[in-house]
Chains A and B, each alone.
Chain A
Amino acid sequence: MKQTLIFRFTIFFLAFSIILSGCGGAQTTSSQSITTSTGFTCPKPANESKVTSKELNIFVWTEYIPTDIIECFELVYGVKVNKDEYSSNEEMYAKISAGGTSYDLVQPTDYIVSLMVRNNLIQKIDKTQLKTLGNFDPNYLDFDFDPGNEYTLPYQAGTDAIIYNSDKVANPPASWKDLWDPTYAGRMVFLDDSRVVIGITLLSLGYDVNSKDPAQLEEAKVKLTELVKNIKLFDSDSPKTALIAGDVDLGNTWTGEAVLAQRENSSIEYVYPTEGAIIWQDNWAIPTGAPHIDAVYAWLNYSNQGDLFYLMLKEFPYTNPNKAALDFAKSADPELYKQYMDSPITNTPKDAIENGHRIEDVGEATTLYDQIWTEVKGGN
């Protein structure tokens, strides 16, 4: 009697799953071309590599990898890609350092790379297996946080600046300091990122964005406490959603989110503040003890091909350090290329770069930043 209930239950679920899996799914038309379920034709891999692993575990930022790239990799190499996501470097770091995880690839931002190297959480890249280093613009290589690119490969770069809806905001902000304006109260969205938000406060006070001085940090904490009262929402997952939905009118976000928001609503503007925007770069890194190394290199080589990586311009338009991708886009999709080059959001103007600040590891002072973040968000 009731056993049949559970039995029916299960049958129903299974039947449903079978029906669902029946519709859709990728097709391989012939041995010549492989297409994904969206109709995108996967390019052939430029460097054939033998892959025996059956899975690849990637731990990446939310909304950061086009599904076509993942699907093409899965179809071409027959490897299942398991994707877990995070929305802050600290969250990623906490999970990786806690141990017990088996990720093959992560995407640390510049400042956390040195921290991970120091704690042996990521391993050196085997340059002999990596064939696509040459695809990158040398301006994005060999930074201070990873000299010689021993541990990382560039992914996307960009800025953190001010975004606002020109239809709703009568007096647009021009500097970080302006965001403390009481007329903005309850209308702002900020990134849920301790370094960025505390950094913004430090910049508005005229201090260095990587300050380790406890007195300056204390001052920043007080100033930030005032600002937090006016912030409606912290969001590092999809800040543009609240903007597009009209729940907030302005705030702080990244390059890619700004471009996507602008595509939905052309009255959304992105402005580099006078004190200087925050400049960053996300990179691929291989955690120590990654179980599927051969799949890792196959991924790094294949996904960075120009004819595949250019999809980023379409789906998640950040500043793209992959020169091969840009060159491919120039010839294959000139409209897309033009959009990318013309927009001051993706193609950051020189003076904004020079005026910008890069976040760095602050060593011991990290504890102070983390503590300030807890206290500032907790008190309401």
Chain B
Amino acid sequence: MLKKLREDKALQGTLLVSPTLLFMVGLLIIPLILTLVISFGRRDADGGVIYTFSLANYARLIGFSTNCSNGVNFCWDTLYVDIGLRSLVLAFQTTVCVILMAFPLAYFIARAEPKRRNTFLFLVLVPLWTNFVIRVYAWMMLLRTQGVINGLLGWIAGLFNLPFQPLDMLYTPGAVLVGMIYEFLPFMILPIYTSLEKIENSLYEAAADLGANPIFTFLRVTLPLALPGIVAGTILVFIPVMGTFIVSDILGGRQVILVGNLIQNQFLSARDPTFGSAASLILMVLTLIVTYFYTRKFGFGEEIIAV
């Protein structure tokens, strides 16, 4: 037996991979299949699962309904589609803002002296390693009606003797956007930095020698070379934003409902695991589709590893 082990390369390979594969199948594939099965079930009166085959949950998600008010045979209720769109829009807004903010910083660090580079980089790591929940709480303190920002603005208004009405910032969709940006900004800085760092100084010099102005250099040299980093960063930002519920929970006052909140609610207060499973799977499919088309166009971004 042992001899076979020594000779059979394929067997060796399989054995090496098997523990990992076991975890992947057991804790990823099987749960996903189970989620799929449950999504076709119905809930009973007390919130349990009745295993049957019914597309009712998916119909409800899309908004297809036969139970219409004006006697029409079927109509559309866009409630859940709206929630999905809201999440997509938020994810998109967050990603764009994060790219705009991360790029100058990553560029600055990449072009700084090598000795100082590490310091600047580590300054970015500190917020990244500070706990997720803590960072969301920090924004609560800044944004609330009697919080730091309003306090500062009020003090400034006082200096100029202007009347001041505190801004209504916390528990709004804007607060959720700011929270999301803050959470995911470091995830974009690092990949962009990694790809920018690879650009040699000589490239810029060559472009300057050939008479290119700054904007031209940026568009034709810097940006294309930074692209893998931007792609990797987008994957690291867009996907989690779609699924996060804690930011909208704490900063949105449980009023801003995103897909993540919807799913979490179904498993907790609304007691409909079948509907929650359906929503969860749709989210996953949506994310996979977006990722597929995105990486098809831009590549997978090896910088994801560098993070």
Contact = CB atoms under 8 A, between A and B. Distances in A.
B187 to A, nearest CB: 22
Contacts of A233: 171, 253-255
A94 interface: yes
A211 B47 CA distance: 19
A69 B141 CA distance: 31
Interface stretch (A41-49, A277-285, A367-375): A367-375
Nearest to A366: B45
B135 interface: no
Contacts of B47: 93-94, 97, 366, 370
B45 A94 contact: no
A255 to B, nearest CB: 22
B257 A377 contact: yes
Contacts of A21: none
The A contact surface, by secondary structure, is helix
Interface stretch (B26-34, B75-83, B236-244): B75-83
Given A186-B168, A233-B171, A366-B46, A378 B253 contact: no
Interface residues of B, number: 30
Contacts of B278: none
25 contacts: A88-B269, A90-B268, A94-B47, A94-B271, A119-B46, A186-B168, A194-B270, A232-B171, A232-B253, A235-B253, A247-B146, A247-B170, A363-B45, A366-B45, A367-B272, A370-B269, A370-B270, A374-B262, A374-B272, A375-B79, A377-B257, A378-B80, A380-B255, A380-B256, A380-B257
Contacts of B80: 378
Interface string B260-286: 001001111111110000000000000
A375 B171 CA distance: 19
Contact of B254 (A91, A119, A364, A377): A377
A378 B257 contact: yes
Interface in A5-32: none
Contacts of A118: 46
Contacts of B83: 378
A246 B145 contact: yes
A115 B255 contact: no
A380 B268 CA distance: 21
B43 interface: yes
Chain A, interface size category, equals: 35 or more
The B contact surface, by secondary structure, is loop
Given A98-B273, A235-B253, A374-B262, 8 more contacts: A93-B47, A192-B269, A233-B253, A366-B46, A370-B270, A374-B266, A378-B83, A380-B256
Interface of A: 88, 90-91, 93-95, 97-98, 115, 118-119, 186, 192, 194, 228, 231-235, 245-247, 363-364, 366-367, 370-371, 373-375, 377-380
Contacts of B255: 228, 231-234, 377, 380
A196 to B, nearest CB: 12
Residue in B79, B171, B269 whose Cβ sees the most chain A Cβ within 10 Å: B269
B99 to A, nearest CB: 27
Nearest to A193: B269
B270 A245 contact: no
A363 B168 CA distance: 41
